[in-house]
Amino acid sequence: MTYLESVENLVEQFCKDPIDVYIDIKPEIVDKLGKQIGEMECSDMGVPKVIFEIAEKNSLEYDSFDFKQLVVLYELLAGSVNFCYWYGAHNVRPTGGGASVMYQCLDEAFRASAQDGNITGRFGENMVRCHMPLIEERLKYVSHVAIRDSVKNDVYLLLYAKSLQDFLDKLLISYVSFSKDMFLKRAFLLVHMLNRRLGLYEEFIHQVPVPADYQIPKMLEWFGVLKYSDDLHDMIWESRLIPSGSLQECEIRASTIMACKMLADEIGCTQGDIDIALWYNRKACDNPFHLTITTDY
């Protein structure tokens, strides 16, 4: 069984009777939302500015391996710590922001690394200074990248992966923090981000599921694609913690993946396109998202 088949099998099990007791997917809303998504404003996500700055200083061609290697390393580090920015409630952010603050820490680390090459160390220090939640876990996961002598070879293999299975096999074995999530959110997000940044993996990007996190199910429930039970709805609106690995959390994430696949099939796009459209417009919805303390997302 491939990694993708394993996730799809998990999704199917959580989305069928009698297990799916907390969430219903509303197929009649999928068509309606599909038309709305096609009209949504989305960000045009290219190569980060800091990578261009480094490339210019070092006279790197934009289509060279060294340039692409920087982008992969950048997203590999970002992906290793891209989780849980809230604290206590969905609208409490100790850093004053979420992933944007994390990327600012990473940008500063890349710029400063010209002095000593210590990107991972500076990245960790910056996150500590920003007082990010789950900092011990974040520092540990960044260190997984730092301690591998073969990171340049890892990046090469990720960059030139010929299939999703090849990509995931290298990533999940080399960087185990990406593999601990049964729904592989951060792993799938890395594939989508490198596709957005560099146009990679066009041969298999249509296979990659949506990264199941906090914001996407919030948006799907707001649009009516997901219908939560009264009990689950109350838990979320009352800011009660939903344990990691609980049936409620697994149903939320499995239903998110299944609903986004239905939307992608309806529109004729990738699940990554659905992800970025809903995520980019997440602030249009004031609803709270579910609260699960986890490093998975």
Confidence label for 237 from pLDDT (cuts 50, 70 and 90): very high
Residue 113: band (very low, low, confident or very high) from pLDDT cuts 50, 70, 90 = confident
Could you report the per-residue pLDDT of 125-167, keeping only the tens digit for each? 999 999 999 999 999 999 988 877 688 889 999 999 999 999 9
Say if 293 falls within a structural domain: no
**Mean pLDDT rounded to a whole number for the chain:** 93
Q: Do 55 and 75 fall within a single domain? A: yes
Same domain? For 70 and 166 the reply is yes
Same domain, 56 and 177: yes
The reported pLDDT for the residue numbered 110 is 96
d(CA 23, CA 158): 36
Tell me the pLDDT band of 45, cut-offs 50, 70 and 90.
Answer: confident
Tell me the average pLDDT across 231-236.
97
Residue 123 sits in the same domain as residue 231: no
This prediction has a pTM of 0.95
CA distance 166 to 221: 34
Q: How confident is the model at residue 7 (pLDDT cuts 50, 70, 90)?
A: very high
Q: What is the DSSP string of 91-128?
A: T--TTSSSHHHHHHHHHHHHHHHHHH--HHHHHHHHHH
**pLDDT at 75 > cutoff 80:** yes
**Which residues constitute the domain of residue 54?**
49-204
Residue 32 or residue 17, greater confidence: 32
pLDDT of 17: 74
